[in-house]
Structure 1
């Protein structure tokens, strides 16, 4: 787990200036890799690669990056872990490859030298973002893993260089990068709480989508920004939607018992692979189905008590720590719990723009960041339960969406034909406005979009913004086979999972120099989950049916049938209380007008309605506040 960055100029540059720039870019993401730093330059090509290392495998100097292949043709910077590096090493050894150390980076580099970038990615099982430079062909390859666990940004600077890195801060360290806010992306933030790939908050800077590969030669570099289409230039080396279609069409032929046994074996193996480390390792344990299942899988394969970590709030609506402690006691883990009062959480709020680097407004960012900071005091690697909801139908909003879609299909066509006007922001308040919004949705995708959006019309709030399509708007994002439930999960796997859930965990863990690993997102587990019929995921009103049944092999029924609480934060209480003055300053009409990003009127109306006691508006306001706090760092 590390941080990568680099710059590629369209003309030769002197070695000293390239190394100085690379060091500057690396320093901007030093928190991602405090153990080692390195730069490598190809002056004749105008390229510099920079790396910050968090040492997990092979703590020796043999794991230092940037790393060159034995023949000198390839240079690589790599962020992530290749869990099947042992099997790949053995295969490469039969082909004549030798190894200096035992890092997975060296294995990946040898694989690229043997098979090329795309085929090596297909063979690898892990999480990654990488930049690989082919010195012979003067071609740069940028890649991101199948499910989107590791981030990668790229764009052109004002002096014609292609700049790239794990976080925006690495790109902004390039002195010629223009940091201009993209209003269309800002509207996405207000709509979704995050900005999905391929977009970023900065105009002309993009995120590489999950499972994608971008390859550029010298001609493309010299063509400048016009050579890059962020939607069509990256190529899918792993197409999750196509994989889902194939899995759904193929189906799972066995019954419940066969499905349970298969999931048990796959998840045990995926967990065991992620327990390999040359540093202390633990697990996040919220007490929910997914984290409990991962913790159980770790404990049954460990000779000593696994280190487990949870967080508890003084606000009982958001506190699951007592249940997590009961799960830990039953499994026999070495459990650590952090009790957080409101003040401790509030003290973190000013740091959120630095931790998340790009504006981000999922309120669970607060407990996630606190949990990662706690965990890092004891271990360097932690396993998480991320991915279970999106693979096994774990969100209650899925059930509500199916219900509303079925209800709408029963209404007379004349009623649907008479839908008029936009429902607007009051749709978040329930009642007739919410009913109008559901009538207007018209189809499954519309109902799903209603469940996922904060500001329904953010383009009316962000000055100069236009609406961009996401997986919740584009029919091409739907599998086209299977059930409506499969379609709901597919949309989340395309958008919400990589760009909210995984982005949140990556930034929070990396800010604490902690590596987070997700066994449920092993691509073999995901591929199996996609074959399962919906009745194995959602049965008689029970969400995540199959994982819950599997958990019963490890925990008593009373600990498994605990209701899902979520992992949020009492943002509404904070904004009504100790954060009120801070929020008022951020949302002052004068400031909003002078900065020119928002129309002050709808924001001030929303702020007043919230202070007057209307429910839910804190979710609208938190996105505006997170942008305002981030903008102060520009």
Structure 2
């Protein structure tokens, strides 16, 4: 796990080495163990910060091919590198190191870039210079586990693993209107957008081809859409066979991701997904594995007893760290700042805390992320089910019920249930695509966003959000939703959160569920294998029930929730009012101040729970005044 940077300059412009070193060293947290440079004739620079995981002695980067014609900088891990290495050796390729980095070089030299990328199973972003064709190739993994940012001016092309490394090469005053609207709709900014105009994220499953003039082309090498389309004609209809296949696939994926030359452990929240990964690791490991979880003093948010139950069952060396509100509030600023642009998933804060504790004992962790998106773990996947059930009630009864719900105040006792009921009511009458848009919009709905932003800043982004939903099987709402969540939510939110929460602590996180073979397999399953009635993740629970305590399979999903509603009425109230001060907002000229006043009033009086919306505003304002 590392950070990479690079620059390609036109022939009449020389690169400034000191500014390039600032680029590289801005990402020290991603790679505290070592750094390196490759500088060619004042027009090409490749830089690297290293967090040593595999081949600690000879895996230094940038790495050059034996003839010096090819150089690479690489961020990530190739899980099947030993298999590719053996295959290349059979073709007569000789290796000088045991690193996965050299495997990429040799696979490129032997098979070409496209076939090389298709062969790689892993999380990565790498840049490869080939002197023979005078081009740099910059690639990102299939699903966007590893980040890659880029920008271009008249003289040069720049890229880096983090936005902060490019800060000398873009204007902080040029906010992207599209990104601004996406953030306030989704609570995050998905690729290819960033909050700055002219700075982009490389889309997953794509690579850049850059020539020595800095001109570039974006080319795809992986298509999830094609995977989905192919899966429809190869559905697995036997449930027992599907369970066996899933078990084999996940055991293989976990085993591959346990390869490391440094201490390794797992995040264990006590939920089904992380418990399954930890239990498989315990089966594969000759000694007790290390597991890590955090608990909360506030019992409504605490899952520590669940995690302890699983840890005891699998015999892990378990570390639990109990947090109070004061512990979480103390790291809010540092956590939000590390993302470099507004990021509104509040679970990043407890995620950062568990990563911090894990780093004290290990350098690599496995996580249970992405099982929900693949096997139907979220309540939103029951949206159609609930809408149909609710629609069966007489209209008069529904109206009476909705009137009553509208008069129930949001309190600690009612908040959780009220939010769920209001979502069901709101989505019951919507079309499938309107329902997905509503459930995906964790911040402001399109109508609310028009009230929030001044007319000069507000633009519709519904088509952008729905472009994935409408790209596949238009008669199958669940398939459309799974596909969209992998393309949009994983890259923009979940994987970004995991990467930054761990990288701020120089910790590598690996995600066994996000193996391309498991992703392909998940789309070959009939929906009733994943969700039967209200039983979510059915096949996952049935397949691995023997590895876990019976109680674990009956636990309801909690996640890393934060008491934002209460915080904004207490601990964060003063700062929230300061950030949304009327004079400040009018000078900023982004928001409609009357709408902000209404949000604050309704929330403070418990008429509505606007915690999610206020958090987006809080996050944005803190970023805006510190960028």
How far 1:171 moved relative to its partner?
A: 1.1
State the partner residue of 1:56: 53
| Local SS of the residue matching 2:620 | helix
Q: Identify the match of residue 479 of structure 2 among 461, 466, 486.
A: 486
Distance 2:135 2:389 in 1: 51
- Please report how far the alpha carbon of residue 471 of structure 1 lies from its aligned counterpart in structure 2 after TM superposition: 6.1
Kept in 2: contact 1:18–1:41 (CA 8 A): no
Pairing partner for 1:102 from 98, 120, 130 = 98
Aligned to 2:196: 202
Match of 2:256 in 1: 273
* Alignment CA distance shift 1:116-1:545 (3 Å): same
Residue pair 2:367, 2:512 contacting (<8 A) in 1 also: yes
- 2:240 aligned with 1:252: no
Gaps of 5+ in 2: 396-414
CA distance, structure 2, for counterparts of residue 268 and residue 430 of structure 1: 37
1:78 Cα deviation after fit:
0.9
Residue 450 of structure 1: aligned partner: 438
Per-residue CA deviations over 1:314-347 (Å, capped at 9, x if unaligned) read 1222111111100110111110011000000000
Contact 2:246 2:518 in 1 (8 A): yes
**Contact 1:19 1:39 (C-alpha < 8 Å) held by counterparts:** no
Larger mean Cα displacement after TM superposition, 270-279 or 549-558: 549-558
The 1:176/1:523 distance shift into structure 2, 3 A limit, reads closer
Find the residue that maps to 1:296 and give its secondary structure: helix
* Residues 128 and 410 of structure 1, relative CA distance in 2, 3 Å threshold: farther
Which residue of 1 is the match for residue 89 of structure 2?
A: 93
Aligned-pair distance for 1:470?
5.7
TM-superposed deviation, 1:215: 1.5
The 8 Å contact of residues 57 and 103 in structure 1, kept in 2 or not, is answered as yes
Moved segments of 4+, more than 6 Å = 405-412, 428-436
Native 8 Å contact 1:283 1:382 kept in 2: yes
User: Aligned residue for 1:134?
Assistant: 130
Tell me the distance in 2 between the aligned counterparts of 1:294 and 1:327: 11
CA distance, structure 2, for counterparts of residue 22 and residue 133 of structure 1: 17
Residues 1:564 and 2:560 aligned together: no
Alignment partners' CA distance in 1, 2:371 and 2:269: 13
How far 1:440 moved relative to its partner? 6.8
Q: In 2, distance between residues paired with 1:282 and 1:57?
A: 15
- Structure 1 contact 97–110 (Cα < 8 Å) conserved: yes
Contact 2:473–2:479 under 8 Å retained in 1: no
Check whether the contact 1:309–1:375 (CA below 8 A) recurs between aligned residues: yes
Decide whether aligned partners of structure 1 residues 390 and 11 sit closer, same or farther in structure 2, where only a CA change above 3 A counts.
Answer: same
CA distance in 1, matches of 2:159, 2:394: 51
Q: Secondary structure at the match of 1:32?
A: coil
Aligned pair partner of 2:570 in 568, 574, 577: 577
Asked if 2 retains the 8 angstrom alpha-carbon contact of 1:18 and 1:48, the reply is no
Tell me how far apart the structure 2 counterparts of residues 315 and 556 of structure 1 sit (CA, whole Å): 24
1:468 to 461, 471, 477: 461
Aligned with residue 182 of structure 2, among 175, 178, 188: 188
Contact kept in structure 1, 2:388 and 2:428, CA below 8 Å: no
2: distance between equivalents of 1:470 and 1:521? 27
Compare 606-615 and 368-377 and name the one that shifted more: 606-615
Displacement, 1:218?
A: 3.9
Give the TM-score taking structure 1 as reference length.
0.90
Q: Is 1:533 matched with 2:540?
A: no
Change (3 A) 1:203 1:472: closer
The aligned runs of 1:36-47 (5 Å cut-off) are 36-43=34-41, 46-47=43-44
**Residue number in structure 2 paired with 1:385:** 368
Give, in whole Å, the separation in 1 of the partners of 2:541 and 2:612.
Answer: 30
| Cα contact 2:295–2:323 (8 A) shared by 1 | yes
1:22 alignment counterpart: 20
Tell me, in whole angstroms, the C-alpha distance in 2 between the residues paired with 1:394 and 1:208. Answer: 28
Secondary structure of the equivalent of 2:233? helix
Report the alpha carbon displacement of residue 216 of structure 1 after superposing the two structures with TM: 2.5
Alignment of 1:512-531 (within 5 A): 512-531=505-524
How many residues get paired?
602
Partner secondary structure for residue 369 of structure 2: coil
Q: 2 CA distance for matches of 1:318 and 1:385?
A: 19
What is the aligned-residue RMSD (CA, Å)? 2.4
Alignment equivalent of 1:500, drawn from 493, 509, 513: 493
Shift of the 435–90 alpha-carbon distance from structure 1 to 2, 3 Å rule, reads: closer
Map of 2:406 onto structure 1: none
Displacement of 1:178 after TM fit? 5.1
Go from structure 1 to structure 2 and tell me whether the alpha carbon gap of 1:12 and 1:269 turns closer, same or farther (over 3 Å shift).
farther
1:108-147 superposed matches below 5 A: 108-147=104-143
Q: CA deviation at 1:563?
A: 1.0
Residues in 2 aligned to 1:189 and 1:125: alpha-carbon distance in whole angstroms: 31
**Structure 1 position 161 matched with structure 2 position 161:** no
Cα distance change of structure 1 residues 470 and 391 upon mapping to structure 2, 3 Å threshold: farther
Flag the 1:43–1:363 CA change in 2: closer, same or farther, 3 A: same
Deviations 1:195-241 (A, max 9, x none): 0111111111111111112223245x35xxxx7xxxxx533211112
Q: TM-score, normalised by structure 2?
A: 0.91
Question: CA separation in 2, counterparts of 1:430 and 1:338?
Answer: 29
Distance 1:439 1:211, change over 3 A: same
- Map residues 211-610 of structure 1 onto 2, 5 A cutoff: 211-218=205-212, 221=214, 234-253=218-237, 255-404=238-387, 438=427, 441=430, 443-453=431-441, 454-457=443-446, 458-463=449-454, 464-469=457-462, 472-474=465-467, 477-480=470-473, 483-610=476-603
When structure 1 is superposed on structure 2, of 547-556 and 365-374 the one drifting more is 547-556
Distance in 1 of aligned mates of 2:488 and 2:518: 19
Shift of 1:411: 11
> In the alignment, which residue of structure 2 is the partner of 1:415?
none
- State how far apart, in whole Å, the 2-side matches of 1:608 and 1:543 are: 37
Superposed counterparts of 1:164-183, under 5 Å:
164-172=159-167, 174-175=168-169, 180-183=174-177
